[in-house]
Structure 1
């Protein structure tokens, strides 16, 4: 993609308003917390302290909107505390340009590394740096600065307290994640009726798994219906695939296929009903036709062999889903404790506390300290840009030059498309917001309390539109800063032109930094593809090895291999999405090769899932030939991944020899015989895709 087209695409995405569900109650709660903090601070301490406390409450409320599975009060407290520390340290060095510049570089570098811990930590850290640039201009002494830091933290405490006292849809994010996973499987069941080999996107299941991890405090209050349904959804997916696939199930046409379509349709209705019940905390309501379709005795008489076993197992799993989704009065902690006592195993996925998370974050940040890390490159970029913007803003004859570095820090992200999209959107939003707010301040001259009220109103608008588009939110953010500074008597002489030009300078610096020191995803696509190939090959080897040594369908090693495969697949898909908007050549993988290679490995994973769906029960007779296939798959995947990384065409001689040897004496298991042929075909399709891409270069 050319630079012109890349800029056009990223600008369009940054200015597009996404139509998502608004959350007025949560927005009103955040604005209420801000109003309480500003009003109390104004009455007792004056406008300057009120402005500091307002920034703390404002940032704490933003933290509660982030996509995180941690308790919202914890996020608000963490945001308030980190902003208070940042502001106090910033003021201690603000009088000395060199010291403050050194602190700014260090703080922005650490905020860049914070993205290694996830987007929530990265956004909070970046916002702290941006707000620090504003708040350090307010205090007049060290003691006053300490007081400002205290009220900033108090703003976070107030927002945390309101989350506890005025809960809005408690456990709503976790309910949505689990309901989305069940709804995705319902859609998958319906698509399988018309396309027996339809693909399935595992992202909803991965999101639900992340949402299921809880801290010890959360485990004591989690609703019972949020416990257990995710594990059932994981087990349902391969059963649906094996029931529909004609390679291991019923023929594509005939009475058996009609029966399978009816069962799949009923399964979709049941899963949708369970998803609705979990999302809204209501009882499960099932339509009688769906229940009759699942209990139809024709299932046993028409279907034979593996399809019949799959259908019966599906009905049993759906019964468990319905039972689990029903709201109950006991807490999940009671049920989980009983389950743990009975099995001797951990009953739920645990999430470390914030204190326990510190060594994990440090380990992740340390792992990113390598030259090829996009997180490290982002940290270097953002720290250099912040320093350059601070110096340039101070040199330009506009005053209050912090607008330039503040804009840079707020728009910069580890990848190209988000940085450029946010830069364009921020400039557009800032232009409108600053123009309107400055016009109001300079024409109407609102007093202290009216400016505070207008700031709170702008904050409400920002919270309300926060998830509808970055540009729309920036209109209210910019106006909020203008009114708040006007309340404190700071920046009253700065014009619209000054603020807009400084924002433009900051945005241009951010965009220029990515052009000078990029971290393109396109050249790394082959590595991402190799990682996916290695993980899905290991998954296939583990699954087939279970046929040689049956250990039950819930083998931990199979589960872990599946999770690694999903993570590698999502990493590949995210890399492809980022590379699509980058203005660089494919460097070894054309767009057609990307699509064909993704299809090949997705199909490979689907075949392995069919093998997993029919894993032998514990104590079943072993299939010795499966050990040979497992070893062949393991060697082929490792060698193939190495070939992909080194830009060679992968060969599958080991697997081809195994399949050829089975042509005369196939193993005593029909699924292994068919599965080996299908797996080899998928890998050969991958080789074809890479060969075509190489010839087109």
Structure 2
């Protein structure tokens, strides 16, 4: 393909051009990077209390071992703590508590049986690897469960001891959960909501002002701040995070549409015979300003969104009947198209903002639960089923992790070293889906462990802590671990190593042998993880465009199947729909995993990551609309497909084809894409709008148009930047 044929793909993937993979400066900058935004002292304080309390009670009561097990349960569950809304946090931490208790029980029961231990650890490692497809929270819980299983399978316990240990770990986890829910009620997405609210409120104010040529475009500062704030959502692919990313994309498009409409109103108003058209544009901007202000207030939860879509449609209809001014036909046509687009964009932003409120989120969850399981956006079992094949990057990671932990367990039982369970445990912690993270974590784990062990040695030789002083030091290191550990993995490893030595010391285990054994086995486990990835590596910068293109191909095939089901109401497409839906989930999981791995590779800047995440967010909105169409097949009475629907569906199919081609380097321009907004207008005005299937397809078609037009702006050209 000639160089100019790659312009579309290079636009969105600017900054991903191949460069030396192990370029030292960016790689080591990432290794040494300290992310101050992840410093959370209030969470660390309650986590430290959750670990220290059961340990102090156990030591005071003369049952240090029981207190230690409860404290480790609290420590493991602390990694699932956060500042997100109570309900989500409670579900996550309760799940972590339960899995931690079960892991302690299972490890204690299978510990005396080496073959069973290897099989169980390998199976748990495979399950933990597959959780990458589900999300970050599930992955974190699975990894902690795996590590807990590996540690406790190295202990010799009776069935009664295993059961009581499991209950102690569960109790420690529940204590940590109670402390999290009882104190410091913060909202995870509060800064994101504030930044987006400021942007929408500033856009609302810009609708009433005239453009100034010598000044920056309206809301420039707010748009920049919103982009900066939302960069923290780069690896968060939850439905909530993608709503906020989609709101940012809509704000960018709305900003450009308002700027264009304001300028067109000024230009059209210079003609004395265009009073009616100028008045229509003025009312349109005024109404748009009110809607934007309502969206901004909703994001701040100072007001609720209840109506407005009908007003948007009325604005579009009003401008479709202009009077006179033949010499301005071109500008009026441009104004009508911009207003059509603005109506769709505002409707989309309106819907997204409504679901970000507490009430809207609960309403969305109720609607999702009412859907058939296979049609739910976050259907965990369906996502996992779609990834159970070698074409899945998640599946390959799960196999790699399972083999690595299994080999580590075998070595642990054969080398004859002390406390060899640290070898498979370190491998499980270090090994990640991408090489860069695996390598950086391996380096930081080994170096941090050695520093932490040196610190622990100095503490015991210099202070000789005992009793209550040891518990106080454990609380201190837990605080440092949870406060500063998320900001840099090296700091995490240093504090964790010192903390583990102190935890052992509480039960009377001499620190010297523990320090030596941990250092040796940590080094061996880290090298094992690096070797496992070296055998089967993956570099992402060359794979992301194809992963996104395959995702759009899968979405296109799914949409084609839904289209055929509507066009042939007498036939059953259940099997075809199920296969197409599974292919979509697999393709999306691969794309998300690819983007997450890309973000950790050296030489990749934040800008292309943000652009690719915008593609994922808007593609998610498209597929949600298509799934709603599929759900309508089971509800509405079959009716003949409108010819306008066939035209619209064919143009959607063509748009997806062009967008995938652009990602693969095809030379695609905006003029090549069909006018989906005009197709939607024709669709809405065809057939009886009171027929349920027609009404549903009209609504979902609007969402499809909006999401695909946004995707076209992200992939074919960065419309906002070109507009500036």
**Secondary structure at the residue paired with 1:460?**
helix
Question: Is the aligned partner of 1:49 residue 2:46?
Answer: no
Question: Is the aligned partner of 1:101 residue 2:118?
Answer: yes
Alignment partner, residue 528 of structure 2:
509
> Matches of 1:158 and 1:351 in 2, distance apart?
34
Q: Could you tell me how far 1:269 is from its partner in structure 2?
A: 8.4
Match of 2:257 among 238, 243, 246: 243
Match of 1:157 among 166, 174, 193: 174
Alignment partner, residue 324 of structure 2:
none
Contact 1:632-1:658 within 8 A present in 2 as well: no
- CA 1:493/1:316 → structure 2, altered by over 3 Å: closer, same or farther? closer
Match of 2:164 among 147, 150, 171: 147
**Secondary structure at the residue paired with 2:260?**
coil
Q: Could you tell me how far 1:115 is from its partner in structure 2?
A: 2.3
- CA 1:135/1:631 → structure 2, altered by over 3 Å: closer, same or farther? closer
> Matches of 2:178 and 2:506 in 1, distance apart?
26
Matches within 5 A, 1:168-567: 168-169=184-185, 172-173=187-188, 175-176=190-191, 178-183=193-198, 185=200, 194=216, 210-211=239-240, 237=251, 240-241=254-255, 243-244=257-258, 246=260, 250=264, 275=299, 277-278=300-301, 332=359, 360-393=379-412, 398-490=417-509, 492-494=511-513, 496=515, 498-521=517-540, 522-523=542-543, 525-532=545-552, 535=555
Contact 1:174-1:208 within 8 A present in 2 as well: no
- The 10-residue stretch of structure 1 (497-506 or 406-415) with the greater mean CA deviation from structure 2: 497-506
- CA 1:210/1:325 → structure 2, altered by over 3 Å: closer, same or farther? closer
Q: Could you tell me how far 1:483 is from its partner in structure 2?
A: 0.6
Contact 2:655-2:674 within 8 A present in 1 as well: no
Contact 2:298-2:353 within 8 A present in 1 as well: yes
Alignment partner, residue 131 of structure 2:
114
- CA 1:600/1:565 → structure 2, altered by over 3 Å: closer, same or farther? farther
Contact 2:125-2:146 within 8 A present in 1 as well: yes
- The 10-residue stretch of structure 1 (531-540 or 392-401) with the greater mean CA deviation from structure 2: 531-540
Alignment partner, residue 651 of structure 2:
633
Contact 2:27-2:601 within 8 A present in 1 as well: no
TM-score (norm 1): 0.64
Match of 1:90 among 107, 123, 130: 107
Contact 2:436-2:602 within 8 A present in 1 as well: no
**Secondary structure at the residue paired with 2:79?**
helix
Contact 2:205-2:289 within 8 A present in 1 as well: yes
Deviation per residue, 1:650-688 (Å, 9 max, x gap): 8999x96989xx9xxx99x9xxxxxx9xx99x9899899
Contact 2:544-2:598 within 8 A present in 1 as well: no
Question: Is the aligned partner of 1:124 residue 2:141?
Answer: yes
- Structure 1 residue ranges without an equivalent (≥5): 214-228, 285-301, 544-563, 585-589, 609-623, 670-675, 690-697
- The 10-residue stretch of structure 1 (138-147 or 263-272) with the greater mean CA deviation from structure 2: 263-272
Deviation per residue, 1:554-573 (Å, 9 max, x gap): xxxxxxxxxx9999999858
Q: Could you tell me how far 1:431 is from its partner in structure 2?
A: 2.4
Q: Could you tell me how far 1:59 is from its partner in structure 2?
A: 1.0
Q: Could you tell me how far 1:75 is from its partner in structure 2?
A: 2.4
Question: Is the aligned partner of 1:5 residue 2:34?
Answer: no
- CA 1:15/1:390 → structure 2, altered by over 3 Å: closer, same or farther? farther
> Matches of 1:463 and 1:583 in 2, distance apart?
26
Deviation per residue, 1:501-549 (Å, 9 max, x gap): 3222222221221121234433463142243477599999999xxxxxx
Matches within 5 A, 1:545-694: 575-576=594-595, 578-579=597-598, 630=648, 632-637=650-655, 639-640=657-658
Contact 1:47-1:487 within 8 A present in 2 as well: yes
Q: Could you tell me how far 1:6 is from its partner in structure 2?
A: 5.7
Q: Could you tell me how far 1:152 is from its partner in structure 2?
A: 0.5
- The 10-residue stretch of structure 1 (131-140 or 459-468) with the greater mean CA deviation from structure 2: 131-140
> Matches of 1:599 and 1:283 in 2, distance apart?
29
> Matches of 2:464 and 2:458 in 1, distance apart?
9
> Matches of 1:650 and 1:313 in 2, distance apart?
27
Q: Could you tell me how far 1:64 is from its partner in structure 2?
A: 1.6
- CA 1:535/1:283 → structure 2, altered by over 3 Å: closer, same or farther? closer
Deviation per residue, 1:406-462 (Å, 9 max, x gap): 222112222333322322232332222222013323453322433222112111111
Q: Could you tell me how far 1:105 is from its partner in structure 2?
A: 1.3
Deviation per residue, 1:105-161 (Å, 9 max, x gap): 122122222223211111111112223333445564332222111110110121222
- CA 1:195/1:189 → structure 2, altered by over 3 Å: closer, same or farther? farther
Deviation per residue, 1:47-103 (Å, 9 max, x gap): 222221111011112212387885323322221221121122212222232222222
- CA 1:207/1:370 → structure 2, altered by over 3 Å: closer, same or farther? closer
- CA 1:7/1:112 → structure 2, altered by over 3 Å: closer, same or farther? farther
Give the CA RMSD over aligned residues: 6.2
> Matches of 1:13 and 1:351 in 2, distance apart?
44
Contact 1:38-1:54 within 8 A present in 2 as well: yes
Contact 1:182-1:233 within 8 A present in 2 as well: no
- Structure 2 residue ranges without an equivalent (≥5): 1-17, 270-277, 305-330, 564-582, 623-641, 686-704, 719-724
Contact 2:39-2:484 within 8 A present in 1 as well: yes
TM-score (norm 2): 0.62
> Matches of 1:42 and 1:58 in 2, distance apart?
17
**Secondary structure at the residue paired with 1:17?**
coil
